[in-house]
Structure 1
Amino acid sequence: MQSEAQKTALPGAERGLAGPLTSLWHLLTRRPVSLYAAAVLRIGYGLLYLVFLLREFPHRDEIWGPGSPWTPALAHQLFDQTGWFSVLALSDNRAYFELCYGLTLVTSALFMLGWRTRVMSVLFAVAVTSFHGRSIFMTDGGDNLILLMSIYLVLTACGRRWSLDARRDRLKTVRAGNATEPTRSLFARQLRDARATLITVVHNCGMFVIAAQVCFLYGSAGLYKVQGASWGSGTALHYVLNLELFRPWPALSHFLDEHSLVVAMAGYVTVLLQVAFPFVLFGRLKYPVLAMLLGMHIGIAVLMGLPLFSGAMIVADAVFLPDRFYTVLPHLCRRVVRRRGSRRPAPGRAAGSGTVPAQGGRGVLGSRHRVVLPAGRKDTTLATEPPAAQVLPKSS
């Protein structure tokens, strides 16, 4: 039997546990979080995949089409083992492939713009999955990340901000004006509230999964590097800079490789950032870490020629920026534009004109005024009479 102290302690423990659970429940159900970050993910990955397909447009037949060495028959054999699926492997007809390619381009553009986002997110995920599975041996880390994010974004309400859907909803609200809302039955109101709660919960869970995926990616990459002897000795980036397959700018890679100390420090900082990333997300330290990771990914894109991978990682990092960052950013940009506009000289007037007086002559320290006359007439200078105390004595 429980003692009296244990009996009296149980309600307090239950109350202590109920507090965090209630806060977590409210966080999941009250309102959708990180709507601007979800919009950035939608725009970023839609744009990345659209640019990727346009870039590979001349080579589409050799990579995914009927002319690919990886034929649909071989793809089906692999699908039987892995359980994968691809719309492109349903037929080896060229017209069918061109139709699928064109529809994927349109889907990526509409998903980026946020038109009927709920439907377009599903179509975008199906398209990315189909292209990924059709020629899986041509993919890299960037393709894998875009594939995962396209599936996760189906769960999110990524069309609530910066989209054509959001613009349409605003216009609909303005047109409705002060019109009275039609009365609904109790069951209809409960059904509407349950639908809103379900959308909120699924969106918040989807954003949590995206954040967890990025943390797992950075953490596992950092721990994997720690186990390598080349990263521990600081020579890993030296070998990376000398890989012929990843040297789009050989002269630049050779120039950086000459500074061995800088290369070694960059390697150590890379490992430190990736390992520490999951532990700095709940403080202000995450902002300089995200800035350094941005520089790292730009360096990977330039030095190693992996723009798709770097772009996918940069977009994924945007999930950790709060909504207030995205709401304040446009105001800061407009303020900078206004300041630059105010510093420009007035039209028809040269910069600095009329601001510096002309040098004095005849030994008089007086102010001079430049009189601007029409073209074809001589310019004259009028000197004001200075006070007697300002007249210099004549030299003998």
Structure 2
Amino acid sequence: MPTEHQPRAPHPRSQSSQRTTGASRQRALEQLGALRTTLTGRVVSPYAAAALRIGYGFLYLVFLLREFPHRDEIWGPGSPWTPALAAELFSQTGWSSILTLSDSRPYFEACYALALVASALYMLGWRTRVLSVIFAVVVASFHSRAIFMTDGGDNLILLMAVYLCFTACGRRWSLDARRVRIRVSADQAGQPSTNRRTSNSLSQLSSARQHLTTVMHNCAMLVIAAQVCLLYGSAGLYKVQGSYWDNGTALHYVLNLGLFRPWPALSLMVDRHQMLVVIASYLTVLLQVALPFVLFSRAKYVVLTMLLGMHLGIAVLMGLPLFSGAMVIADAVFLPDRFYAFLGRAWRSTSPTAACREAGPAPPQTPLVPNQPESPDRSRTEAGSEAHRRPANGPGSPP
């Protein structure tokens, strides 16, 4: 008689592969959940965002002050690159600038004053939401007005100014943060607050706004970090393809270019040490290529320190302080918040004003008011309890 086929038992190897696949899927889901929590749960690197805001605001303010005597020849009506030529170029490139809206000198001076004030207030963190947009518009306008006089530092400042518009860069080290801290202290002290109880719909709207702000900030900080990694990685890989960087003579030719020799004697002194020039050439390429690969290890602190020395050398030997400053500030995005918190604690410990502010005023002492004499119609029980509460041998106390 024909017999029915018995179901085959699953092969042990197939069971093992299924368990491995399930574990991998579970790990992937957990990583996605952790990434979602990181992007939406809290604002990441608020101190780094504040450092970028302060750094680029200060750098652009110094740049505008340095070029103040030459502002008319660079961006004003007296520039060889006239507003008409700039407008013709804008029609081809799609750029725009508030400086080309009028050819009058008072309008240009007003725009320059606006740029100075906006850079200063942006650095201080006053109304950062609005000032970040104004600062980005100012940087883009001055950048596009004299596009042929810009370099890599100007391009980086423009990119960072646009990216920082989407960050919560005013939550730390700013006048906005100080105003919020004072308001919270007033509420905790029991002072009357001007905020009234909002409805449920307004509360939900506020929660959605905070959620959107957190997501935008975290994504913008991720884009900033990726931009810096791309900048270093592409620069290092581009150098690898060149024969001068391959044989270690690139810095020798750079030190002998008249355009990049603000201190000829210093450049010649450095160029005499041939072995040092060769090591610096190879080390430059190695550091730029290595930075994206060491961000999640402690080796990044060594690389960032050496990159800081490299940029200081570029600023002094090649006369590019704006470019070096922009790169050094951009590297601050990779430093953790605990580093900036340590800097804050060190500043508070060394600053006598901050120490006094942290100590706060002395607690008020209870005034010594004499006890009132007992009322004749007070009961014995109340009189006895009052006697226990009075200080010994005080006024009105029993003998």
The correspondence for 2:75, drawn from 54, 60, 64, is: 64
1:132-172 Cα deviation digits (max 9, x unpaired): 00110010111000000000000000000000000011111
Q: Which residue of 2 aligns with 1:281?
A: 295
Distance 1:113 1:334, change over 3 A: closer
The correspondence for 1:297, drawn from 308, 311, 314, is: 311
SS in 1 for 2:86: helix
Q: Which residue of 2 aligns with 1:105?
A: 116
1:175 equivalent to 2:189? Answer no
Identity of aligned residues (%): 67
Q: Give the whole-Å Cα distance in 2 for the aligned partners of 1:199 and 1:236.
A: 45
1:188-267 equivalences in 2 (<5 Å): 188-267=202-281
Q: Which residue of 1 aligns with 2:357?
A: none
Q: Give the whole-Å Cα distance in 2 for the aligned partners of 1:249 and 1:83.
A: 39
Q: Give the whole-Å Cα distance in 2 for the aligned partners of 1:33 and 1:24.
A: 12
> Which runs of 5 or more structure 2 residues have no equivalent in the other structure?
1-8, 353-399
Q: Give the whole-Å Cα distance in 2 for the aligned partners of 1:70 and 1:59.
A: 14
Distance 1:302 1:186, change over 3 A: same
1:107-138 Cα deviation digits (max 9, x unpaired): 00000000000000000000000000011001
Q: Give the whole-Å Cα distance in 2 for the aligned partners of 1:318 and 1:27.
A: 20
Matched AA of 2:27: G
SS in 2 for 1:91: coil
Q: Give the whole-Å Cα distance in 2 for the aligned partners of 1:116 and 1:226.
A: 45
The correspondence for 2:158, drawn from 147, 150, 157, is: 147
Q: Give the whole-Å Cα distance in 1 for the aligned partners of 2:346 and 2:69.
A: 41
Q: Give the whole-Å Cα distance in 1 for the aligned partners of 2:125 and 2:49.
A: 11
Matched AA of 1:308: L
1:44 equivalent to 2:40? Answer no
> Which runs of 5 or more structure 1 residues have no equivalent in the other structure?
339-396
Q: Which residue of 2 aligns with 1:394?
A: none
Residue 185 (structure 1) shift: 3.1
Q: Which residue of 2 aligns with 1:382?
A: none
Q: Which residue of 1 aligns with 2:146?
A: 135
SS in 2 for 1:277: helix
1:314 equivalent to 2:325? Answer no
Matched AA of 1:272: L
Residue 333 (structure 1) shift: 5.1
Residue 190 (structure 1) shift: 1.8
Matched AA of 2:268: H
Q: Give the whole-Å Cα distance in 2 for the aligned partners of 1:337 and 1:106.
A: 28
Q: Which residue of 1 aligns with 2:44?
A: 33
Residue 265 (structure 1) shift: 0.3
Q: Which residue of 2 aligns with 1:83?
A: 94
Q: Which residue of 2 aligns with 1:323?
A: 337
The correspondence for 2:282, drawn from 259, 268, 272, is: 268
Q: Which residue of 2 aligns with 1:343?
A: none
Q: Which residue of 2 aligns with 1:159?
A: 170
1:369-380 equivalences in 2 (<5 Å): none
Residue 8 (structure 1) shift: 6.4
Matched AA of 2:328: I
- RMSD, matched Cα: 2.0
Superposition TM-score, scaled by structure 2 size: 0.81
Q: Give the whole-Å Cα distance in 1 for the aligned partners of 2:73 and 2:165.
A: 30
Q: Give the whole-Å Cα distance in 1 for the aligned partners of 2:29 and 2:344.
A: 40
